Amino acid sequence: MTAATGTEPLVRARNVHKAFERLEVLKGIDLDVMPGEVVVILGPSGSGKSTFLRCINHLEAIDAGSIMVGGEQMGYRLKNGHLVKLSANAIALQRRKIGMVFQQFNLYPHMTVLQNIIEAPVGVHGESRASAVDNAKQLLARVGLSDKLNSYPRQLSGGQQQRVAIARALAIRPELMLFDEPTSALDPELVGEVLNTMRDLAGQGLTMIVVTHEIGFAREAADRVVFMDGGHIVEAGRPDEVLGNPQHPRTQAFLSRFL
Amino acid sequence: MSNEHAIAASPSGDAAARDVASAHTPFRYGQLILWIVVGAVVVNFAWIVANNENFGWPVVGQYFFDPTVVQGLYVSLGLTVIAMALGIALGLVLAVARMSSDPLASTLSAWFVWFFRGTPLLVQLIFWYNMSTLFPTLSIAIPFGPTLASWDTNSVITPMTAAIAGLALNEAAYMAEIIRGGLLSVDRGQAETAEAFGMTRMRALWRIIIPQAMRSIVPPTGNQLISMIKATSLVSVIAMADLLYSVQSIYNRTFEIIPMLLVAVIWYLLITSILNVGQGYIERYYSRGERRTGGAAQGAKPAAAAVAGEASH
Ligand SMILES: Nc1ncnc2c1ncn2[C@@H]1O[C@H](COP(=O)(O)OP(=O)(O)OP(=O)(O)O)[C@@H](O)[C@H]1O
Ligand SMILES: [Mg+2]
């Protein structure tokens, strides 16, 4: 699972700063994620985890620093040695290699499960309908929802919706998957089915950045755990190190709540 | 599996509770009496109206399909369709412009809505009709620069184009606000998701946002459409022979004012009834994701429980 050393990182964040009005949310984040690596971001509420995740696919523009994904700087390009802001459509192109799963699922409620999944492959990536439908069926089988092809999102339980959302993100064949608290909106008995799906993906070598409060998932599935607090990464390392023997008092305080 | 749970959850000594499947609804006499009274009043009133000679029903029948009336009906319907279509299209552009982060676009849109909602439609129509006295020629030119093309205003602004321009621009102002309200009613997360999946703004609007906004756009638009049908009667002031104008032109000759107005009234009611039915269909179409009990879901329920159970252990 652990990425081979020597290859280029898929995600390279350097000194990322982000403020909303006067509120400084990210105060210099550095993070490299290697291809195939599963990074879990932990941290108290308001520490900037979601904001950082949204900066990676440029849903939020950063104020300073840089974020590279797959060798491209998100939101900008170099022109005659100067950094130039990309147009909205060019940024849309950059995002095509990044899948995202949201806390509130955000399935398209007016579309069936199948339509939800093939929307981006057909409409954004130009995949043929037939092949997108084939792929969608395989993905639904993978998340255990083959019989829900023609259901609408509202007819599904939260856990089922989130698994469809994962299938939808996988359908664009992403190089990188971002998960923002994918189980936080779920009833406790539904958390397991979503985490199982994510564990499968982690095992299959997909590069994932996961914001979650599921310490158990971090322990089992993560290659690296990153602990954020107050807009900084205060501690990062192998799950057994960070979770088993946290060094920073903030991390210790945070983890003690889960014991 | 779920059956066992159900049995276990209900103590067997619970004799007072009977299966609701065997329950029957008590007959509601009060409601029946109310129905009879209301029914009697309605039928009686209809009888009185039908037998009142002052309404001139034979005349109504005689003129109902009169060529002048039918011609007027076509004008009213044609104007409604064209003005509404243009109004919705322009309203959509205005709504999107108003919501854009571009200050120029949103300001221009706001001014447009302010002006065309804030002045009487009748006055707007008269202005369009009299455009030639205000601007004798219409030109395409570079501002403060050379003229590229120019036309005689009278040849461009006929009563027909004046009516369409007046109705459509006024309608656009109202539709812009209706559409904007609809777009705002869609969960912010939807636009964000579309964006995260690499959709362009246009595509996100077209495929994700607008279909969801339609649920709150359609009912007030139905209202607008019905108002528009009646608003077309205003164009008679600029010499357009719409439905109302045609029946007026007939009763000016025959003096059968009430029967001729009844002809118009019945036509208007017929059209709005058809539109109501159409609106019902459209609303049902756009609420298709809303119902929890779709055919697909019902058939799939037992299997779903099995899969969920399998996945969560
Ligand atoms: N669009 C925004 N405008 C203004 N402030 C924002 C915005 N988004 C986030 N914030 C603020 O930034 C801070 C960090 O938010 P963020 O959502 O990144 O935290 P988080 O670590 O994901 O927390 P949680 O665990 O509760 O999801 C919070 O104080 C939040 O109020
Ligand atoms: Mg968050």
| Distance (Å, whole) CA B19 – CA B183 | 47
Ligand 1 atom at minimum distance from A60 CA = 1
pLDDT at B107 (0 to 100): 97
Which residue has its alpha carbon closest to ligand 1 atom 13? Answer: A46
pLDDT at B170 (0 to 100): 95
CB pairs under 8 A between A and B: 110
Lowest average pLDDT, out of A63-72, A188-197, B135-144, goes to: B135-144
Question: Is A24 in contact with A14 (CB distance < 8 Å)?
Answer: no
| Distance (Å, whole) CA A75 – CA B257 | 70
Angle, nearest 10°, between helix axes B67-99 and B210-231?
140
* ipTM for the assembly: 0.91
Question: Is B215 in contact with B287 (CB distance < 8 Å)?
Answer: yes
Beta-carbon separation of B195 and A92 below 8 A: yes
**Quick check: A154 contacting B, CB < 8 Å?**
yes
Whole-number Cα distances in Å, A46 to A23, A73, A228 = 11, 26, 10
Q: How long a stretch of residues is chain B?
A: 313
What mean pLDDT do residues A125-135 have? 96
Q: Closest CB to B290: pick one of A144, A154, A159.
A: A154
Ligand 1 atom at minimum distance from A231 CA = 14
Beta-carbon separation of B198 and A106 below 8 A: no
Q: How many angstroms is it from A181 CA to the middle of ligand 2? A: 7
Residues A99-123 have pLDDT tens digits of 999 999 999 999 999 999 999 999 9
pLDDT at A49 (0 to 100): 96
Whole-number Cα distances in Å, B82 to B11, B114, B120, B165 = 68, 23, 20, 10
Instruction: Evaluate the CA torsion angle B262, B264, B270, B272 in order and state its sign.
Output: negative
Q: B220: which residues sit within 8 A by CB, 6+ positions away?
A: B178, B181
pLDDT of residue A165 exceeding 70: yes
CATH no. of B67-312: 1.10.3720.10
Residues A73-82 have pLDDT tens digits of 999 998 888 9
Q: A26: which residues sit within 8 A by CB, 6+ positions away?
A: A16, A17, A18, A19, A48, A51, A52, A55, A62, A231
Question: Is B192 in contact with A100 (CB distance < 8 Å)?
Answer: no
Amino acid at A31: L
Chain B residues in contact with A197 (beta carbon < 8 A)? 311
**Quick check: A82 contacting B, CB < 8 Å?**
no
Residues with pLDDT less than 70, chain B: 1-15, 291-313
What mean pLDDT do residues A48-68 have? 95
Tokens of A130: 């037939």
Q: How many angstroms is it from A18 CA to the middle of ligand 2? A: 15
Q: How long a stretch of residues is chain A?
A: 259
Which ligand gives the minimal distance to the CA of A42? 1
Q: Residues A106, A107, A109, A113: what is their CA dihedral angle, to the nearest 10 degrees?
A: -170
Beta-carbon separation of B294 and A57 below 8 A: no
- Phi/psi for B52 (5° steps) reads -80, 115
Q: What is the mean pLDDT of chain A?
A: 93
Tokens of A150: 């023609």
Place of tokens 């006929």: B158
Beta-carbon separation of A145 and B307 below 8 A: yes
Chain B residues in contact with A172 (beta carbon < 8 A)? 197-198
Ligand 1 atom at minimum distance from A47 CA = 21
Question: Is B168 in contact with B83 (CB distance < 8 Å)?
Answer: yes
**Quick check: A120 contacting B, CB < 8 Å?**
yes
| Distance (Å, whole) CA A198 – CA B1 | 27
A47 lines ligand 1 (CB under 6 A): yes
Q: What is the DSSP annotation of B259-273?
A: HHHHHHHHHHHHHHH
Give the whole-number percent of chain A exceeding pLDDT 70: 97
Shortest CA distance to A68 belongs to which of A175, A155, A212, A180? A175
Chain A residues in contact with B203 (beta carbon < 8 A)? 123-124
Residues A220-236 have pLDDT tens digits of 999 999 999 999 999 99
Mutate which of A23, A181, A214 to test ligand 1's pocket (most atoms within 8 Å of Cβ)? A23
Exposed/middle/buried for residue B153 (C-beta within 10 Å: 0-12, 13-18, 19+): middle
Please count the other Cβ atoms lying within 10 Å of the Cβ belonging to residue A236.
17
Report domain extents, chain B: 1-36, 67-312
